Structure 1
Amino acid sequence: MSDIMTKNPRGTDPLARPGVLAHRRMPRWAPAGIAVAAIAVGTALGLALGLSSKIQWGLIALILFVLGTYVITAAVEDRRQAKDRVVTSAVWACFVVAVVPLYSLVETTIAKGAKMINGNFLSHSMAGVLSNDTGGGVYHAIIGTLEQVGLASLIAIPIGVFTAIYLVEYGRGKLAVAVTFFVDVMTGIPSIVAGLFILAFWILVLGFSYSGFAGSLALVILMIPVVVRSTEEMLKLVPNELREASLALGVPKWRTILKVVLPTALGGITTGVMLAVARIAGETAPILLLVFGNPMINNDPFHGTQSSLPFYIYEQYVLGTEQSYDRAWGAALVLIAFVMILNLVARGIARWKAPKTGR
C-alpha cells in the first residue's frame, strides 16, 4: 500500500493536512489526451504502412487508445484503476464503432437524397415517367407504406399486447409455455417466409388478389412477436407491490391491469411498439410477393396492387439509371425520416402518459 497511497507529512505542503491520505490521480484531461495521441499515432502508422482505408486507421487508433490507457494508468495510479479505466475505454470504443457506421449511413443518405426532396417529388407518382426521365415522385409509395403499416399495426398491436398481458398476468401451465415457444419461433422467421405463407394461404388457397392488405397480413406476422416480447418485458418490470396494493383495496384484477399495470409500463410498451413499426416499415420481401408494385396512386389497400417505400427503392435501384438512383436515394431519406418521426411521436406519448411522481 505504500506505493499506492502515502501520508502527507506535516509542513511539506501548505494545503496538506496531517493524517490525510493522498492518492496519485491522473488529471481529468488525461483520457482526452490519450485519445488525441492515439489518433495521431494511428494516422502516422496508417500512412507509414500504406493503408488507404481510414477505417483501418481508426481501428488502430482505438486499439492504441485502450492499450495506452492501461499502460499510463497502471504507471501513474495502480493496476486496479487501470483495469477500471480500460473497461471504460472499451465501452467508449464500442460506442464509437457502433456510431460511426450509423453516422456514415445517415450522412450518405442525406447527401445523396436531399437534392430530390421537394414538393414535386413528394406530391407526384411515377405514372408515365420512364427510367431515364427526370422528375417523378414518391407520393404513391408514401400512401402505400402508411396504409400497409397502419393496417398491420391495427391488427398486430392489440394481439401482441393482449398476448403479453396473458403471459405475465394470467399465463400458467402448458398453454403459456406453448405460447412463449411459438413467440420465440416467430421472432426468427425470415420476412420472405411470412410473405410466402400469406401468398399460399391468402392468394392461392382463398383466391384473393394482390393488394396492400395482403402485404399487411405478412407484416402482422413479423410485428406480433416483437410487440409481445417487448410488452412482456415491460410488464415484468412493474413492481408486484403495486399490484398487491391495488388488489388489497378490493380492485378487480382486470381493473388493476388496466389502471395500474399498463399506465406504469406505457412508456416502455410504446417504445417497443414503435420499434416493431420501424421494423416492418422497411420490409421489402413480403411487399414484392404480395403488393406487386404500382407506379400509379392507389388509395384502396384492399383492391389492386400498390407500392411502398421499400419496394420503390428496390424498383428504382433495379432500373440502373442515374435518374432512378437519385429517386431511390430520395425515397430512402423519406423512409428514414418516417421512422424518426415515429420514434419522436412515441417518446412524446411515453412522456405524456408516464405516471406522475411526487417529491
Structure 2
Amino acid sequence: MSTLSTVDESALPAARTNDDFGGKSGGRAFCDQAARVVMWVAFVVALIPLVWILGATLLKGGHMLLDIDWWTKSQSGITARREGGGAVHAIQGTLIQALVTALISVPIGVLTAVYLVEYGRGRLAKAVSFMVDILTGIPSIVAALFIYAMWVTTFGLQRLPIAVCLALTMLMIPTVVRSTEEMLKLVPNELREASYALGVPKWKTILRIVIPTSFSGIITGILLGLARVMGETAPLIILGPYTAVIATNLFDGLMPTLPTMIYQNYTENLQPAIDRTWGAALTLILIIFVLNIAGRLIGRFSKVKN
C-alpha cells in the first residue's frame, strides 16, 4: 500500500507578483495615465480651432448655400451693396484650374518619386531630392512672382488663367513627390524580390506591384496637394484677378475662383458682400471635403487583393 508523501511548502519557490511578470507598478501606472491625459488634452486643444472655424463658417455662410441661385447663377450685374447672385462662376473656375494643375503635377510628381525610390542613385538623385526640398519651402507668392517674371516680363504675354496653373503646379509637385515617395518606401522589398525572382522586369514590377500596393497613399498625397493649391490666393491675385462672370477659357481673359471671390467680397466691407465671402469659404471647404471622401473611396476599392 503506497503512501502519499507530504511536500514541504517552504521548499517551493515563492509566488510571483504582477511586477515580476511585467505588471504595472504604481509609478508606471501613474506615468501611463498622465501620458494618456496629456495626449487627450493635446487632441482637444488641436481640435478647438478646427471646430471653431468650421462652426463659424457654417453659421455665417450656411444660408447662402441653401439658396438655389448660389449654385446656378454668377455675380454678373451684382454690386457689393446688392444681395443675390451665386458662385457657379467661381466654382467652375476653381475646379478647372485644379484639374489642369493636377494633370500637369501628378505625372511629374509620381514619376519623380518613382525615380528617387526605385532608380535614383548618385549625385543626380541627390540634386533632384534637394530641389524638391527647396520647392516645398517656397511661399506661394514667390512662385507667383517667378511665373509673372517669366510669363509677363520676359515673354510679354498677358495674365491668363493658364499662368495661374503653372504657378500652382510649382506648389503641388513637391507635395505629390514627397507623399508618393514615402508611400513607395513602405512597400515591402519582399514583394519586389518575389517579382524579380519570377523573371518580371523592373518597370513592370513597379507598374503592376509597387504602385498598386501604395495607390491609396498616393491618392491621399495628390488630394493633399490639391487641397493646398485650391486654397491659394496670391498666385490668383497676381496672375488671374477676379471677374464676376462665367469664364472657362484658360487661354483668354480672366477666370474667377473661390479664393479670389472671397478676397474681392471681403475688401468691399459691406454686409451682402461679407455674406458672399462666408458662403464662398464654406463652398471651398465642402469641395475639398468631397474630394477627400472620393479619394478615400478610390483608395479603398483599388487596393491590391490578397
Answer whether TM exceeds 0.5 for this pair.
yes
CA distance in 2 between counterparts of 1:280 and 1:101 reads: 22
Q: What residue identity is the alignment partner of 1:356?
A: K
For residues 285 and 110 of structure 1, the distance between their equivalents in structure 2, rounded to whole angstroms, comes to 25
Matched residue, 2:4? none
For residue 121 of structure 1, report the CA deviation from its aligned partner. Answer: 1.3
**What are the residue-to-residue correspondences of 1:224-235 with 2, within 5 Å?**
224-235=173-184
* Structure 2 counterpart SS, 1:189: coil
Q: For 1:162-173, what aligned pairs fall within 5 Å after superposition?
A: 162-173=111-122
Rounded to whole Å, the distance in 2 between the matches of 1:294 and 1:208 is: 19
The Cα of 1:190 is off from its aligned counterpart by 0.2
TM-score, normalization: structure 1?
0.78
Partner Cα separation in structure 2 for residue 348 and residue 317 of structure 1: 35
* One-letter identity of the residue aligned with 1:256: T
- Counterpart mapping for 1:139-218 below 5 A: 139-218=88-167
- The aligned counterpart of 1:309 is 258
**2:76 corresponds to which of 127, 133, 138:** 127
Mapped partners of 1:281, 1:342: distance in 2: 11
2:173, 2:55 → 1: CA distance? 32
Distance (whole Å) between structure 1 residues aligned to residue 33 and residue 305 of structure 2: 38
- Aligned amino acid, residue 302 of structure 1: F
Identity of counterpart residues, as a percentage? 48
1:96 aligned residue (33, 37, 44)? 44
Residue 86 (str. 1) matches residue 15 (str. 2): no
For residue 294 of structure 2, what is the aligned residue in structure 1? 345
Which amino acid in 1 is paired with 2:61? G
Aligned twin of 1:9: none
Q: 1:316-357: CA deviations, max 9, x gaps?
A: 000000010000000001000000000000000000111113
The equivalent residue for 2:85 is: 136
Counterpart residue identity of residue 88, structure 1: R
**C-alpha separation between the residues in 1 aligned to 2:96 and 2:253?**
13
Give 1:21 deviation, angstroms: 5.2
For 2:275 and 2:17, locate their aligned partners in 1 and report how far apart those are by CA, in whole Å.
Answer: 66
Counterpart Cα distance in 2 of 1:88 and 1:185: 37
- Runs of 4+ with deviation above 3 angstroms: 19-23
Mapped partners of 2:241, 2:173: distance in 1: 23
Rounded Cα–Cα distance in structure 1 between residues aligned with 2:304 and 2:39: 32
Q: How many residues align?
A: 288
Amino acid at match of 1:274: L
- What letter corresponds to residue 253 of structure 2 in structure 1? G
SS at match of 2:214: helix
Pick which of 108-117 and 161-170 moved more: 108-117
How far apart are residue 207 of structure 1 and its match?
Answer: 2.3
Letter in structure 2 aligned against 1:281: M
1:130-149 deviations in Å (ceiling 9; x for gaps): 11001021111111101111
Does residue 281 in structure 1 map to residue 226 in structure 2? no
Distance in structure 1 (CA, Å) of the matches to 2:251 and 2:183 = 35
| Residue number in structure 2 paired with 1:107 | 55
Distance 2:243 2:36 in 1: 52
Report Cα offsets for 1:147-194 as digits up to 9, x if no partner: 111110000000000000000000000000000001001000000000
Q: Deviations over 1:230-288 (max 9, x none)?
A: 00000000000100100111101000000000000001111011000001000000000
TM-score, normalised via structure 2 length: 0.91
1:45 matched to which residue of 2?
none
| Deviation for aligned residue 1:22 | 7.5
CA–CA distance in structure 2, aligned partners of residues 291 and 160 of structure 1: 25
Secondary structure class of the residue paired with 1:131: coil
Extract unaligned runs of 5+ from structure 1: 1-18, 24-73
Q: What is the CA–CA distance in structure 1 between the aligned matches of 2:126 and 2:16, rounded to whole Å?
A: 60
Report the alpha carbon displacement of residue 208 of structure 1 after superposing the two structures with TM: 2.2
- State the distance in 1 between where 2:256 and 2:153 align: 21
The alpha-carbon deviation at position 79 of structure 1 amounts to 1.3
> Which amino acid in structure 2 is aligned with residue 319 of structure 1?
E
Between the aligned partners of 1:164 and 1:113, the Cα distance in structure 2 is 40
**What does residue range 14-93 of structure 1 map to in structure 2 within 5 Å?**
78-93=26-41
* Letter aligned with residue 127 of structure 1: S
Map of 1:289-300 to 2, 5 A cutoff?
A: 289-300=238-249
Give distance in 1, aligned partners of 2:26 and 2:56: 44
| Structure 2: gaps spanning 5 or more residues | 1-14
1:62 — aligned with what? none
In the alignment, is the contact (CA less than 8 A) between 1:144 and 1:301 conserved in 2? no
* Contact 1:187–1:226 under 8 Å retained in 2: yes
Deviation at 1:293, TM superposition (A): 1.3
In the alignment, the residues of structure 1 paired with residue 112 and residue 126 of structure 2 have an alpha-carbon distance, to the nearest angstrom, of 12
